[in-house]
Amino acid sequence: MQLSVVVPLFNEVESLPELLLWIRKVVDPMGVEYEVIMIDDGSNDDSWGVVEDLSGKNNMVRGIKFRRNYGKSAALFCGFEAAQGDVVITMDADLQDSPDEIPELMRMINEDGYDLVSGWKKKRYDPLGKTIPSKLFNRTARYVSGIKLHDFNCGLKAYKKEVVKSIEVYGEMHRYIPILASQSGFNKITEKVVQHQERKYGVTKFGIERFIKGFLDLLSVTFISKFGKRPMHLFGGLGTIMFFIGFVAAAYLGGHKLYCVYNGISSPLVTTSPYFYISMLGMILGAQLFLAGFLAELISRNGADRNSYKIAKKI
């Protein structure tokens, strides 16, 4: 099979027939074998009934239904597992992503040789409360990851099959799929300016809490990518530095007190100085960080995936 279109959805009963009609209008003339996988993320409207109806009338439509709402990352993970196409394209079900982009996205994967092409909604029809935080997070993600994309969270993306079969999307990590792909060794990543549509039906499913989750997930993916298999390098390094600074400060205070006593100079007790307690705190925190790194290293070394590596080819 040449193409899989993965569509996660939640309460999109009105848009699904129109979306499938649009996809068929674009893809059928291309003459490729394709499938459309719709993942119902626990909708509480009749979205699944529509998916069943569409599947019955169109043999290229497949459906997956969750018993409850797990989130977009879970829907994409199951969609990626089920996808059979050599090229996998994801898009949202709310008609804000345009299926007209499919031919060019597929060409960029097949002919230009990219591993991942991410859509860039350069002109957006979203409120400022959504676009301004989005720009902030995208800028932060670019700085942390080194991947020069303007819109990490765009739902319209194209992948080589090997990419979606090699990454694990969990939590809220769908926002950082390009980073996950890069960590797995797929570095031919680019972006394409795509058309963004105004929402036609329903309301947005994302609230302000997504920005908090997005920031925390960015920290998680950064930590895992850099220190997931060597936590001692982070915690042990920080702990050693803090312990050393605290020890030097305490030694200085003790040495100064001994100097004053030896030379008969009046000086207050060491314990009356706030710097004494700061130095003790530094030593205690340093020891705790070092111990945390040591324990994390033991857990990492005994993990089942400690020698799990992504192998591109064998001869």
Task: Give DSSP secondary structure letters for 83-132.
Answer: --SSEEEE--SSS-B-GGGHHHHHHHHHTS--SEEEEE-SS--S-HHHHH
Residue 175: count of CB within 10 angstroms of its CB:
24
Is residue 107 within 8 A of residue 32, CB to CB? The reply is no
DSSP strand pairing (34-40 vs 61-65):
parallel
Residues contacting residue 271 through CB under 8 Å, at least 6 positions apart: none
- pLDDT tens readout for residues 110-154: 999 999 999 988 877 666 656 676 777 778 778 777 888 888 888
Q: Within its chain, how far is the Cα of 251 from the centroid?
A: 45
3-state secondary structure of 191: strand
188 — phi, psi (to 5°)?
Answer: -85, 80
Bridge partner residues of 193 (DSSP): 120
Q: Where does residue 287 rank: exposed (0-12), middle (13-18), buried (19+ CB within 10 A)?
A: middle
Report the alpha-carbon distance of residue 41 to residue 38 in Å, rounded: 9
Q: Residue 64 is inside which H or E element, if any?
A: strand 61-65
Residue with tokens 């299926």: 99
Q: What is the mean pLDDT of the chain?
A: 85
Instruction: Output the CA torsion sign for 128, 130, 135, 140.
Output: positive
Q: What is the pLDDT of residue 192?
A: 93
Distance in angstroms between the alpha carbons of the first and the last residue of the chain? 26
Which of 22, 63, 21, 23 has its CA nearest to residue 43? 63
Whether pTM > 0.85 for this model: the answer is no
Q: Where does residue 27 rank: exposed (0-12), middle (13-18), buried (19+ CB within 10 A)?
A: buried
Question: Tens of pLDDT along the chain (315 residues)?
Answer: 899 999 999 999 999 999 999 999 999 999 999 999 999 999 999 999 999 999 999 999 999 999 999 989 899 999 999 999 999 999 999 888 999 999 999 999 999 999 999 998 887 766 665 667 677 777 877 877 788 888 888 889 999 999 999 988 887 788 889 988 988 889 999 999 998 877 666 666 555 566 666 666 667 766 766 666 677 878 888 899 999 999 999 898 888 888 888 888 888 888 888 888 999 999 999 999 988 888 877 776 665 555 454 555 555
- pLDDT tens readout for residues 196-222: 877 666 666 555 566 666 666 667 766
Residue with tokens 């080194």: 146
Which of 49, 48, 51, 41 has its CA nearest to residue 8? 41
193 — phi, psi (to 5°)?
Answer: -65, 125
